[in-house]
């Protein structure tokens, strides 16, 4: 019986196993060095904040694996021999495979900061990170202050977590404005103000120089590179992005760059070896997507795709239109299509922007300045429907069409205040237009393009 081995039990690996089992009776082994059973990484913050218990982050009961005849091998892979199709583990045990799927995910970036291995230094990716936080930052009596390094989505999540326990937070962001490499200026500036409003000590254009130890090998303070200032703290969160977790492949014949190099079918240069999820790097980027995508839904899609190939129905990975969602403290963020920051803005790209006068709500719509083709939208504080924007992007609708039918994209107008008339009025004024908002049409929402 053909033996399929999957290294990694995150969303990519487990999705692959589930879909192979749906379509075949192949032998499946999942290798895990982290936890025995799959859990939702995005839910770790809610465990720390007291909204759920860790067992609630596990979408499948523990009996699921036995019922579906999926084997589990606990251990850390030390190396891969593709000539003999063998995995070697750090305890010197080994495992043979017929087909191998590498789904080892990411690890937090570290930039050789002195002190980065001290007790009390953590990321926010693994279950072990949650355990570190519980040990060193259980409350504001044990943890007098935490310092977070890195201004991305993981950093803002960690700040929210710590503030939920009333722990003071200093946030070191090397950029001149929060996440301004991704967000247009209007949005980045709004998030700056929102962070400060939540009593977080936001330090822009600020870099970490080193982490200082106490006499017991635990974090005592950090030193700021620009000024030499010392900030006393008990925990340091390193959230300056992630990188593929592929150190174990350094002596293998599998080609790597930053990640494991794959083609559109998620195949590596070695026959019968595939890579998916955060650790996979497309040889040629898809559209404007990054070659490596550390995003939950793309990992799931890759798992579904490679499972079809393993089961004899070779399938190309086609992720479709870009979308993502997140939270900046209590502000919901959604993005569909492409909206670039000012420094990455394309020559043909134009923006239409609207911001609420009092509330933390705004949108940025990107469109082609000549053809007016709708290119993408960012929304903050306004919940929108993914399927509607996906349809408009596929149909290559104009910005005028999008604005005219904007009510169709509103997630739930019965419970949320409508801002569409105000948004359209602003566009009409700026563009000397006469667009009229159409009433919400359920038929338009669910009719395929």
Domain positions in the chain are: 3-107+243-310, 121-240, 323-446
pLDDT, greater one: 126 or 85: 85
Band of residue 61 on the pLDDT scale cut at 50, 70, 90? confident
Q: Partners of 1 in the beta sheet?
A: none
What pLDDT is recorded for position 39? Answer: 79
Is 60 exceeded by the pLDDT of residue 274?
yes
What pLDDT is recorded for position 416? Answer: 52
Q: What mean pLDDT is predicted for residues 260-287?
A: 97
Is 60 exceeded by the pLDDT of residue 442?
no
Q: What mean pLDDT is predicted for residues 248-272?
A: 98
Cα(364)–Cα(366) distance, integer angstroms: 6
**Which range has the worst mean pLDDT, 102-106, 310-314, 361-365, 443-447?**
443-447
Cα(289)–Cα(318) distance, integer angstroms: 11
The verdict on domain 3-107+243-310 having CATH code 3.40.50.300 is no
State the helix-helix crossing angle for 296-310 and 11-23, rounded to 10 degrees: 30
Sorted by sequence, the CB contacts under 8 Å of residue 274 that are 6+ apart come out as: 99, 100, 101, 102, 262, 266, 267, 268, 306, 309, 310
Q: What mean pLDDT is predicted for residues 235-258?
A: 95
Band of residue 171 on the pLDDT scale cut at 50, 70, 90? very high
C-alpha 346: how far from chain center: 24
pLDDT digit string (tens) for 279-306?
999 999 999 999 999 899 999 999 999 9
Same fold, 3-107+243-310 and 323-446: no
**Which range has the worst mean pLDDT, 173-177, 238-242, 369-373?**
238-242
What pLDDT is recorded for position 226? Answer: 97
Topology at the third CATH level for domain 121-240? FAD/NAD(P)-binding domain (3.50.50)
Is 80 exceeded by the pLDDT of residue 448?
no
What pLDDT is recorded for position 127? Answer: 86
What pLDDT is recorded for position 151? Answer: 84
What pLDDT is recorded for position 395? Answer: 97
| Number of helices and strands in the chain (H, E) | 11, 25
**Which range has the worst mean pLDDT, 114-128, 254-268, 412-426?**
412-426
Is 60 exceeded by the pLDDT of residue 412?
yes
**Which range has the worst mean pLDDT, 96-110, 123-137, 306-320, 416-430?**
416-430
pLDDT digit string (tens) for 342-377?
999 999 999 999 999 999 999 999 999 999 999 999
What pLDDT is recorded for position 414? Answer: 52
Mean pLDDT of the residues in the chain:
93
pTM listed for this prediction: 0.91
Cα(89)–Cα(78) distance, integer angstroms: 5
Is 403 buried (19+), middle (13-18) or exposed (0-12) by CB count in 10 A?
buried
Architecture of domain 323-446: 2-Layer Sandwich (3.30)
What pLDDT is recorded for position 413? Answer: 55
What pLDDT is recorded for position 411? Answer: 80
Is 50 exceeded by the pLDDT of residue 445?
no
Q: Partners of 119 in the beta sheet?
A: 218
Dihedral, CA of residue 392, residue 393, residue 395 and residue 401, to nearest 10: 40
Half-sphere exposure of 191 (CA within 13 A, CB side): 29
In degrees and rounded to multiples of 5, residue 398 shows phi and psi of: -85, 165
């Amino acid at each position: 019986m053909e033996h399929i081995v999957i290294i990694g039990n995150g969303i990519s690996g487990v999705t692959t196993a589930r879909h192979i089992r749906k379509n075949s009776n192949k032998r499946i082994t999942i290798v895990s060095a982290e936890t025995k059973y799959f859990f939702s990484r995005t839910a770790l913050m809610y465990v720390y904040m007291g909204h759920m218990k860790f067992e609630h982050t596990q979408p499948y009961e523990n009996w699921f694996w036995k019922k579906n005849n999926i084997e589990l091998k606990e251990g850390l892979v030390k190396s891969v021999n593709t000539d003999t199709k063998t995995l070697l583990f750090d305890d010197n045990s080994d495992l043979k495979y017929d087909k191998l799927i590498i789904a080892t995910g990411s690890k937090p970036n570290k930039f050789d900061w002195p002190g980065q291995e001290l007790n009390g230094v953590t990321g926010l990716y693994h279950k072990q990170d949650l355990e570190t936080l519980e040990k060193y930052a259980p409350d504001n009596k044990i943890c007098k202050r935490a310092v977070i390094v890195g201004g991305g989505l993981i950093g803002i999540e960690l700040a929210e977590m710590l503030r939920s326990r009333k722990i003071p937070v200093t946030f070191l962001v090397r950029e001149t404005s929060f996440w301004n490499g991704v967000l247009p200026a209007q949005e980045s500036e709004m998030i700056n103000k929102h962070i400060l409003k939540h009593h977080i000590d936001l330090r822009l254009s600020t870099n970490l120089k080193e982490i200082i130890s106490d006499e017991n090998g635990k974090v005592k303070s950090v030193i700021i590179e620009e000024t030499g200032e010392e900030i006393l703290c008990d925990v340091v969160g390193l959230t300056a992005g992630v990188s593929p977790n592929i150190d174990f492949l350094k002596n293998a014949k599998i080609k790597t760059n930053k990640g494991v190099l794959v083609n559109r079918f998620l195949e590596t240069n070695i026959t019968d070896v595939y890579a998916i999820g955060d650790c996979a790097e497309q040889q040629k980027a898809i559209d404007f997507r990054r070659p490596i995508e550390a995003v939950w839904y793309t990992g799931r899609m890759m798992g579904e795709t490679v499972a079809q190939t393993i089961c004899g129905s070779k399938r190309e990975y086609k992720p479709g239109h870009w979308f993502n969602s997140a939270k900046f403290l209590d502000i919901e963020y959604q993005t569909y299509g492409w909206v670039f920051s000012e420094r990455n803005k394309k020559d043909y790209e134009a923006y239409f922007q609207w911001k609420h006068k009092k509330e933390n709500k705004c949108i940025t719509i990107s469109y082609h300045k000549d053809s007016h083709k709708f290119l993408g939208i960012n929304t903050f504080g306004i919940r929108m429907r993914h399927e509607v924007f996906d349809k408009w992007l596929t149909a290559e609708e104009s910005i005028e069409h999008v604005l005219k039918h904007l009510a169709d994209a509103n997630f739930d107008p019965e419970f949320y205040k409508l801002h569409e008339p105000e948004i359209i009025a602003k566009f009409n004024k700026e563009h000397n237009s006469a667009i009229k908002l159409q009433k919400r049409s359920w038929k338009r929402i669910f009719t395929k393009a």
